[in-house]
Chain A
Amino acid sequence: MIVVWRWNESEVYGLKEADQVDWSVEGDTQGDAFVQIDKDKDSGGITYLTDLIRPKLEMNQIMLFLHNNQKYGYNSDAVKEILEGLGSRAISNLVIRLFTGGTESVYYTPANKLGILGTKGTIPSGISDLATMTIKAEHYDAVWNNYFINMKERIYQLKESFFRRAKAHEICESVSYLDHLSQDKSLWYSMYNFIEDYRRIPKDTTATYSDFSVCINYTKLKGNKHVAVAYKEAQKEMKKSMKSTIIENNEDAQAQTQEIYHQLTNLWKAIPQQSY
């Protein structure tokens, strides 16, 4: 995990002498690392980052946080530049996230006690140990899962987008329930992706839809069996509904909406993340 930010107390961290400072993660055996960098875009930030990331990508997953601040220079164009510098427009092992404003779950706040970044440009002392240069695993894992997998938010988005679309069917009953749902391509392809029926999603679609494959991998991790069970239940209900020929009237549509929403809510509740 790499965080490019205007770090305060840089002399404490050693960022005055070095371009980057590497931390390890408490109790880690897999080579997890937390890297602090304070280098704005106009000071060669893009080249520095692409050179740092390129050799690591083959064997590692990387989460790059860039502070999206006018003075600092990182924005969506900078993300494009980094990806182009790495020779691709999308890399499955790399997630780049622009962060700003203190609202992201990477921040440690009273509302998000599993964040890492303090609001004063530091890592709060309860989260880090300067003597051993380690970050608490609980915080590292929470931020990693929130952003790299981001499952709780993805499921919440699907649940609420689905309900919003489904309830609007009551206003346009002349179209069948499934036709009405399928007209929203972003939602419809997200639903197909959720049930792992990928062949129904046109390769050349321009619609933006959610990819749940990383969430499915997450459900297979040790300790996530209850999430896997909830995922399967939600998948089963959604599959049944999407292929159903018995949704003939409003009552049938409501029953389907209710059941899918209920299963997605159960899944959302089963995911052990604080945010969303």
Chain B
Amino acid sequence: MKPVYYFSDDPPFSKRWADWLNTQGYDPILYNPLQPQAVEVLLLLTPLLIDNKWISIENVWKRHFENISPSVKIIQAGIHEIQSRPNYLHLYAFPDDFSALVADSVSVTTWEPYPIGGEDLGDLLSIYFSGHGTEGIVEWLNKVKSSLESVSYRFNKKEPVGELQTWLIHPEIRYDEESKALLGRWNHFRSYFDALPDKTFIETLEIEILKTDSEPILMADESEFKPRIEAAMAAFEQIIQLLEPIIRLKSD
């Protein structure tokens, strides 16, 4: 029996759906973004319901698989009234032959997702990183970098410095306030990351964000503070590089 992966935030396939796929020679397996599997065919049951918002993930998943595995075929599953469209499985009107549906479906590079509405995951995550003025993560990185440079400059010049807190106060940044804003923003967006096709980086990201909490840092000495912030920045930069192609960061 061939595996066919599916992704949904809803309870798993009903027995009827699983039985039907079995009779067609396929074994449905839930796709796990924490351990991304090599897939040939992927069923998406969307929209997802996250934090009371209905989220469409098709565009993000398309771009992800275009980058890592362009021959993958993504098939949307639902009950929209669609006349014989490839890459769409009608859950209340199964086709005679699932293999034929798969064969007729196009690979992810030419697939145009059927628009199902809801909020686009890429738009939401783009706002987390790039958006919205000084609250975006990219802007935060720039400010923290600038602050770190200021701290390093004082150290290198061996200028007398008082309490660590005073080093952290840059004309452009109050680190204690910024770290709270960063944590608040992470908590606000955290659950949307669960809808990504690959979230193996989430744990690292979360640990690094938590490390930036100002309270322990303000009590730490410089030898502890700098590596912590630098590790957090490196983690963010790596993740931004990783995600940029699929969420399409906006420049505003």
Contacts and interface: CB of A to CB of B under 8 A. Distances in A.
Given A107-B132, A168-B11, A261-B79, A254 B92 contact: yes
Contacts of B15: 170-171
Interface residues of A, number: 33
Interface string A27-56: 000000000000000000000000000000
Nearest to B125: A103
Interface in A222-276: 250, 254, 257-258, 261-262, 265, 268, 275-276
A126 interface: no
21 contacts: A70-B184, A101-B127, A101-B135, A102-B132, A102-B135, A103-B119, A109-B252, A119-B131, A119-B132, A119-B133, A156-B117, A157-B54, A160-B54, A167-B14, A168-B10, A168-B11, A170-B16, A171-B14, A254-B92, A258-B79, A275-B119
Q: Chain B CB within 10 Å — which of A101, A109, A110 has the most?
A: A101
Nearest to B90: A258
A100 interface: yes
Given A102-B135, A163-B79, A276 B92 contact: no
A120 to B, nearest CB: 5
A171 B19 CA distance: 13
Contacts of B184: 70
Chain B interface, DSSP helix/strand/loop, else mixed: mixed
A249 B251 CA distance: 53
A110 B14 contact: no
B14 A170 contact: yes
Contacts of B119: 103, 275-276
B180 A70 contact: yes
B28 interface: no
A111 interface: yes
A109 B131 contact: yes
Contact of B124 (A103, A119, A275, A276): A103
Given A101-B128, A119-B133, A157-B54, 8 more contacts: A71-B177, A101-B132, A102-B132, A109-B250, A109-B252, A156-B54, A156-B118, A276-B119
Nearest to B78: A163
Interface in B52-106: 54, 79-81, 91-92
B189 interface: yes
B252 A110 contact: yes
Contacts of B177: 71
Contacts of B135: 101-102
B190 interface: no
B123 A111 contact: yes
A70 B54 CA distance: 26
A121 interface: yes
What are the 4 closest A-B residue pairs judged by CB atoms, nearest first?
A: A102-B132, A170-B14, A102-B131, A102-B127
Contacts of A120: 133
Contact of B91 (A8, A111, A167, A268): A167
A275 B123 CA distance: 12
Interface string B180-197: 110011001100000000
Contact of A103 (B79, B91, B92, B127): B127
B29 interface: no
A109 B127 contact: yes
B54 A262 contact: no
Contacts of A250: 16
Nearest to B252: A119
Given A110-B250, A276-B119, A164 B132 contact: no
A170 B117 CA distance: 25
